[in-house]
Chains A and B, each alone.
Chain A
Amino acid sequence: MSLQNSSGLGSPSQDPLDSANLSQERGTECPAASNNHAQQHPIGLYLKVWLLLFVLSSLSYSVDYLQLQGMLRWSLIILFMLLKAGLIISVFMHMFWERVALVYAILLPPLCLLALIALMAIEANYTFANRLAFFSF
Chain B
Amino acid sequence: MTTRPTNLPPTETRLASLVADWSADGETFKQVPWGKAMMWIFLLSDTFVFSSFLVGYMTVRMSAVEAWPNTSEVFALTIGGQHIPLVLIAIMTFILITSSGTMAMAVNCAYQHKRKQAAVLMLATALLGVSFVGMQVFEWSKLIVEEGVRPWSNPVGAAQFGACFFMITGFHGLHVSAGVIYLMVVAAKLWRGHYDQPQRADPGNYQIVEVAGLYWHFVDLVWVFIFAFFYLW
In the complex the two chains form, is A100's CB within 8 Å of B15's CB? Answer: yes
- On chain A, the residues within 8 Å of B58 by CB distance are 117, 120-121, 124
In the complex the two chains form, is A50's CB within 8 Å of B233's CB? Answer: no
Considering only residues 65-107 of chain A, those with a C-beta below 8 Å from chain B are 65, 67, 73-74, 77-78, 80-81, 84-85, 88-89, 91-94, 97-102, 104-106
How many of chain A's residues have a CB under 8 angstroms from any CB in B? Answer: 82
In the complex the two chains form, is B206's CB within 8 Å of A3's CB? Answer: no
Q: Once A and B bind, how many residue pairs between them come within 8 Å at the CB atom?
A: 219
**A124: nearest residue on chain B (CB-CB)?**
B62
Bound complex: CA A39 to CA B18 (Å): 20
How many of chain B's residues have a CB under 8 angstroms from any CB in A? Answer: 81
Instruction: Give B168 Cβ to nearest chain A Cβ, in Å.
Output: 15
Task: From the candidates B8, B65, B100, B113, name the one contacting A53 in the complex (CB within 8 A).
Answer: B100
Considering only residues 10-47 of chain A, those with a C-beta below 8 Å from chain B are 11, 13, 15, 17-18, 20-22, 24-25, 30, 32-33, 35-41, 43, 45-47
In the complex the two chains form, is B7's CB within 8 Å of A9's CB? Answer: yes
In the complex the two chains form, is A4's CB within 8 Å of B6's CB? Answer: yes
- On chain A, the residues within 8 Å of B213 by CB distance are 92-93
Bound complex: CA A6 to CA B65 (Å): 54
Instruction: Give B21 Cβ to nearest chain A Cβ, in Å.
Output: 4
- On chain A, the residues within 8 Å of B47 by CB distance are 110
Which of A's residues lie within 8 Å of B, judged by CB? 1-4, 6-9, 11, 13, 15, 17-18, 20-22, 24-25, 30, 32-33, 35-41, 43, 45-47, 49-50, 53-54, 57, 60-61, 63-65, 67, 73-74, 77-78, 80-81, 84-85, 88-89, 91-94, 97-102, 104-106, 109-110, 113, 116-117, 120-121, 123-125, 127-128, 131-132, 135, 137
